[in-house]
Structures are given as C-alpha cells and as structure tokens.
Chain A
Amino acid sequence: MKFLRERLDNGLEVIAEITDGALSTSIGFFVKAGARDETDSLWGASHFLEHMVFKGTADISADEINRRFDWMGASANAFTSEEDTVYHAAVLPEQQHEATALLARMMRPALRESDFATEKLVILEEIRMYDDQPPFGADDRCRASFFGRHPLARSVLGTVESIEALTADAMRDYHRQRYAPGNIVLAATGAVDFKALVESARTWCGAWEPQATQPRQTMPVAWAPRAESTLEHITRASATLEYAVRMTAGPAGHDEDRFAAKLLAAVLGDDSGSRLYWALVDSGEAEQASCHHHDYLDAGMFATQLSCDAGDVVELLERIEEVYRQATAEGISPAELEQARNKLAGRVVLVGERPRHRLFSVGLEWARAGTYRSVAEDLQIVENLGMEDVRRVLDCWPLHGSGSTVLAGPYPAEASPESLEESQ
C-alpha cells in the first residue's frame, strides 16, 4: 500500500492510496460543503446542490452523465453530510481516466433553472420518504435541540419550507463559494495510476479559478453542550413502535480521545454483543438499543437510539441511563476492552480490503484534517487503546445525565416530560 499526494496551483489536492493487486479503482471528489455551511435561507442547499451536480454541465446533459457512468460499468453515487459532500465512482482500472474526467466536469454544473424546478420535486419526495420512516424525524429534532445555536444543528435535507423557498441564484452563489478548488480533494484508492490521476486533474480542474477559501462557520464562542436535559415528543399515532434518540456530548474530531470514544460506544451500545444489547435487545424488550460516537471538526457526540413498545419507553430509557451510570462509576472490564479491540480491528481489515469502502476513510480524513493513516496505522491505534483511555472518556464525557432526548411514536405526549424528568 502506497500513499501519494499532489497539489495543483489553484489549490485542489489530489491524493491516492494505491494497493498492489487491487481489481478496481475508486475515485471521489470530497467537497468541504455540508449542512454546517448553510444559513437559514440556504438550509438544504448542500444536499440539493449534490442532486443538481448530476443534472449536467453546460455541455453534458443529465442523461449523458447517467449513460456515461453506466457505460463505464461504474458504481457511482454521492452523499451529503453535515460537513462534506462526496461524489464517488468505483470502476475497473481501465476506466479511471473516463470516471475522473466525468466527475471533474460535473463539479462545474450548469444549474439550469428548469432542472432546478424538477429536482426540487425529487428533494421534496426524499424529505417525505424519510418523514414516513423511523425514527420519524426524531434524529433531526434531537440534533437541533442538542446543538442549539451551533451550525451542526442543521439537518442535511432541510425542510419542505426551506427547499421550496430556495432559489437557483442562491444555489449558484453557494456553489461559487464552497466548490472553489482549494475546498476540494480528489481522492482515489485501489488500483490507481497516480500520474494519470494528476494529469486528469490538471486537464479538467486546472483552469478552475483559485479563490480565497471561505472559512467554515465555526462554533459560537458561547456554545457548550447543554447543561440541562431536554425532552421533546413527536406524535406519530400510526407508528407501531416508539422511537427515541438521545444525544450527549463526546470527543470532537480533533480530539485524540475520539478513538477511545468509539471503542467505548462499541462496548456499551454496539448493535450486537454490547451492554445495551444484552440488557434490552437480547431479552426482546427493545427492537433496537444502540449507541454510536460521531465526531465533527469542532464537536462530537454519542447518539443513543432506542425503539420499543410505546408503553415501555420511559422504563427502558431509565435502564439505559443506568447502564451508562454504571459504566462511569465502574468502568469497563479488561475482557470487554479486548473484545471491542478485536471487533474494531476486524472491521478495519474488512473495510480496508475494498477500495470502494476504503475511499471514504482516506478521503474524509484528508478533507477534514489533511492527514492520512494506512490500514496498519489504523490497526495500531486500535491495538494501543487501553483501560486508561476509556476511563478518561468516561470521566470527561459521561453518557448519563444532561443530554437531549426526542421521542417519536404513539406515546402519549402529555405524559412524557414529567415521568422522564423524574428519572434524570
């Protein structure tokens, strides 16, 4: 495995992790643009723009883009998160040039008014689709409550109102700002011809105007995770189960303790074999009870998710709280540490074998921090995690106590606040 990098004069970065013997090549444009970069009038613009990028350039139609990807045999798609917009394609190595060229040209979309109007309908359908399925908006509402005035409070999709109000002109401005070459990383993994990759970047991206990179909206000086707990409820009388999302503060993306936080989350709330699994899922009391750690540039959080019979939700949230309280009081056992290390190491190896998955680890890490870690280095980090690291996370970021909780489902709204407050 070999890592190479190059920076074009206009600021665009080109990186590659090359694996001998890989059968495929994965290519991605990682744009530092996400929900956190939006304002009220641009809410949902990053994700909407991601859709518009597939609607074509001045000289390539949307149909042509779709046909070309299929013709290359590419598995191509895109996603938008709070901090990144990623366009990616997995192809056989002989299609590296074609795939890179097409993705690069797409980064300068036409943003036609008529396409904008049609695609707006698709975005609204996507919002309705998510609104119809678990956790019925509880995740977005919880994020808004937990982050408050922090730019990470914004949901990626936006709302029906914000999408309806968005104009093509505002999107064009947003694109000019965020899709500047200095704000984009071209990353490739697998069987990569790096010389050809840089050559493609020069050909298709070299003429992009360099611009002073817009700084990202930062955390307000006064922002801190909530000291008090909040509880909200979304009524979905027709839902069969009750869904709860709870967010508490955790290590941020620049904090070395983020690795220990992920290990702790695996011990406490992995989808199988964790403390929450044995306490609530194995017994058939909850459909799901899990905890995961998420980190961003300047903040981090533990997200707990529960789904169960509506009548049990209060009691089960209390029991989750108790699992967390006990972990803070007594720590985890050496056997749990060992099991979680092996579990995480296994995942690193399996993800590392597929260039199309490895692309996201490599590209996102570079886009966020400008750093690269090989699979061996990732394994070393997991291997080095010790009891004292987990202890430090438990002390600094206790999962019990203050946090934001949102319920969605048939649970009677008027009954929820009091009974839950009592448990905190």
Chain B
Amino acid sequence: MGQSIQRRQPVKQTIFSTTLNNGIVLLGEELPGLESVAIAFHTPAGAVHDGPGRCGLATLSGEMMLRGAGDRSSRQIVDSLEGAGVQWAQSVSMSHASFAGAMVARQLPIALPIYADILRRPLLPDDQWEPARQMVLQNLAGTEDDPAHRAMSALRQLHYPSPWGMPSEGITAEVEGIGLEDVRAFVSANVRPRGTIIAIAGRIHWDAFVQSMEHLFGDWNAGATQPVVTGQRGPHVRHVQHDSQQTHIALAWPAPPYRSDESYEATAALAVLGGGSSSRLFSEVRERRGLCYSVSAGYHTLRDCAAAVCYSGTSAARAQETLDVMLTEIRRLPGTLEQAELDRVKARAKSALVMQQESSAARAGGIARQWYHLGKVRSLAEELARYDRLSVASIEAWLANHPPQELSVVSLGREPLEVPHEISA
C-alpha cells in the first residue's frame, strides 16, 4: 500500500469574526449548500467556578436559566423553540455553560431573542427551583447506573488538578446543599459578556447577524472575570467498587493542551495507539485476543492542561490481562512508530475535517472551541497543512521527550486490579 492519496481541491471556506464592545466574540462560518443554521452560545459560567463543597452549582444554574427568561415561562421557552423546529440543547462543561440550537435558517429570527433572554434575563424563579434541583439529582442517579461514565469521571478527578477534574454534572451530596440564592449569585457573577463566545454556522448572513447581535447584546455590561484557583491532583490509582459483570479500566497521562502546537503530535501518537480499527489497542486487545468489545485511546483537552486517555471494559476474569496488554502497548509506543500507521492517521483526520463541513452544528461547535483554546479560528487549509507537516520523526521526537508516565489508573468493578507501581510513579 502506498502513500495515502488525498484530494487537494480546496473546500470553499468563509469564516467571520468580530468582537462587540462589551467583549462578546461573534464567530461565523458560511457553509454553502446547507438549508440549516446552527448557533451556540458559550458563556464562561462553567463548573470550574462551582466552588468548594458546591459541585453541581453550574449545572443547576444552567438548568435554572432555561426555566423562565424575559417574559417567557419555562414552558414557553421550550414551546417557542420547538414550535420553530429548533433542535435545542443545554449543557455545562468545566469552562462554559452552553446553549445551542440547530434549525432551518429562516427560523433564526425567532430563536435569537429567546437565547438573548436566557443569557441576559433569566428569571430564576422560586417555583422552578425544586423541580430543577430534582431533575439534576435524577440525572446524577442515572449516571450512577452508567459504569463507563463513572470510570471516566473518576479518572478525570485523578488526572486533573482540582477543580478541573471535578464532575461538571455535580456530586449528589453537594447538590443537596445548594440553594437558589447560590444559583442567583452564581449566574450574576459568571454569566457575563466578557468571555462569552457566540458561534453560528450554515446558511448565514453575517452582516445581518452581527447587527441583530448588537441589538440583542450590545448594551449588556456586567461582571468582571472570575479567577480560578487551581489546587492539587489526587492519588494516581483508584478502584471503584461496583456490582457489575464487567470491569471498566480507564487510564490517563499528561498531554499538551490543544493550544500547544505539539498537540498535533500528541493526538497523532494517540490515534496510532487507539484511534481507529487498525490501531494497536484495537488490534491487540480486541481483534487478536478477543478480550473486550470496546477499547480505545484518545485525547481530552482543557485550556491549560490535557490528557491522553485509554478505556476498556471487559469481564472481571479477563480484566487483569486486558490492563496488562494495554500497558504493554502504551509502553511500546515510543520508538516504534511506522510510516504506514502515520499515513492512516493523517487520512482519517483529514477526511473527518472535510466531512465536518457538512454539518452546521459541528462547525458552530468547532469554531467556538478553537476560539476558546487559540483565540482564533484555524482555517481548514491551515489544519490540513499542519497535518501534512506531521512526520514519524516529529512524533517520535515528541514521544521521546514526553513518554507515557505518571499514569492515573481507575478500575471500576467487583475486584481491584494489580497496577505495577512504577507506571504511576
């Protein structure tokens, strides 16, 4: 098999950006041929601002913001959005509270004022507090029944320094102690123009969009940036007792954040390890030994730190062997990269980049993410060129300087696994 052949014919790309006087960043990408438009509002009210003993405050606040805003009740907000055929979503990550919608482009004028109300004029009413709290507690109870989710959540707590590894969905005991006044204070302090990114993609009219954003958000001035105090990391190895047939294994070690240029080398190395069906973990753990159904390696990034992450779930009796094979493959990675492996990783990455251009929602999310991490949007051409510059030598050089070490290891299941002492040291 020879060098991967990729079409060089450029995809037409038109990206816009501007910043309002109050600091709100507006981003846009025109995607020719689409009927839809997707918009995402990211405000800097993420779970990293929860505060000690109040894990889940940001999630409760995000939920409450939807429950009445401007002159609309909770029900009227949802009915108005869904009546216009808007596929809406609300989520809270470590860094942001996000409100998004995808729709047929002509419905945008209906949706924008609703989102403006949610961000600027949330009512946070008394009568919605108990239902909102119960909803968040129900979701937390649901995650207790999802072993893979629990394993990955525990892993992030081990790997990242506090509060960056805390579960954004909250901790039941702490959510129970949060009051509506905490939510009101949190929204007032953290939902603010500076640090807010609004991204739109699809069938857009940029000038008209900027004008309506000026109209809806131009006179919004509130709050100063909230600092985050970064604390310590936890221990490196943890077993979570769970009554299940399968044992879930999650591993992490440090990787450069997305804004570091070396993140390309890191993601490529991880893709070779466990990114596709021809990756080493998939071949060795699943295909050759039949040890599990799912096994993978990937990259997870926050703004200032990131993680190489591996996961597998397998029956308890074969979990130790699975962990051992995973560790062997992780240790074997430096110094063994082959050109053919890199060619495949490049082909997959480039192909995924081009296909993302077919989805307004994916692009609205993508350009906002880039702005948050980089303070700019990289063009598709720039990204493709950066992948072209990846070489076996550049990845091996990075691996030599950053071999997988200081691993965090989580097992979740009936029995703990043996973790070699030296890997977590």
Contacts and interface: CB of A to CB of B under 8 A. Distances in A.
Interface of A: 19-24, 54, 62-63, 66-76, 90-95, 118-122, 124-126, 128-129, 131-134, 237-241, 272-273, 278, 281-288, 307-309, 335, 338-339, 342-343, 345-347, 349-350, 352-356
B82 to A, nearest CB: 4
B230 interface: no
A318 B245 CA distance: 33
A66 B277 contact: yes
A125 B276 contact: no
Interface string B251-294: 00000000000000000000000001111001100111111111
A128 B246 contact: yes
Nearest to A354: B358
Given A121-B291, A125-B293, A353-B35, 14 more contacts: A24-B351, A73-B351, A76-B277, A94-B7, A122-B293, A125-B292, A237-B243, A241-B138, A241-B144, A273-B82, A287-B138, A339-B79, A346-B102, A353-B34
Interface string B73-109: 0110011001111111000000000000011100100
Interface of B: 1, 4-7, 11, 32-36, 74-75, 78-79, 82-88, 102-104, 107, 130-139, 141-142, 144-148, 242-246, 276-279, 282-283, 286-294, 313-315, 340, 343-345, 347-352, 354-355, 357-361
B293 A71 contact: no
Contacts of B133: 284
Contact of A23 (B11, B138, B139, B283): B11
B202 to A, nearest CB: 9
A284 B130 contact: yes
Contact of B85 (A92, A133, A342): A342
Contact of B287 (A66, A134, A286, A338): A66
Given A239-B145, A240-B144, A73 B352 contact: yes
Nearest to B355: A24
Contacts of A237: 243
5 contacts: A21-B32, A24-B355, A70-B347, A122-B292, A345-B85
B145 A66 contact: no
Contacts of B243: 237-238
B104 A339 contact: no
Contacts of B291: 121, 125
Given A134-B145, A347-B87, A92 B292 contact: no
Contacts of B82: 272-273, 339, 342-343
A4 B101 CA distance: 34
A288 B139 CA distance: 9
Contacts of B343: 71
Given A92-B354, A122-B292, A133-B146, A66 B134 contact: no
B348 A70 contact: yes
Contact of B278 (A67, A124, A278): A67
Closest 9 CB pairs of A and B: A284-B134, A73-B351, A346-B85, A121-B290, A73-B347, A238-B243, A342-B85, A66-B278, A240-B144
A158 B286 CA distance: 20
A355 B357 CA distance: 12
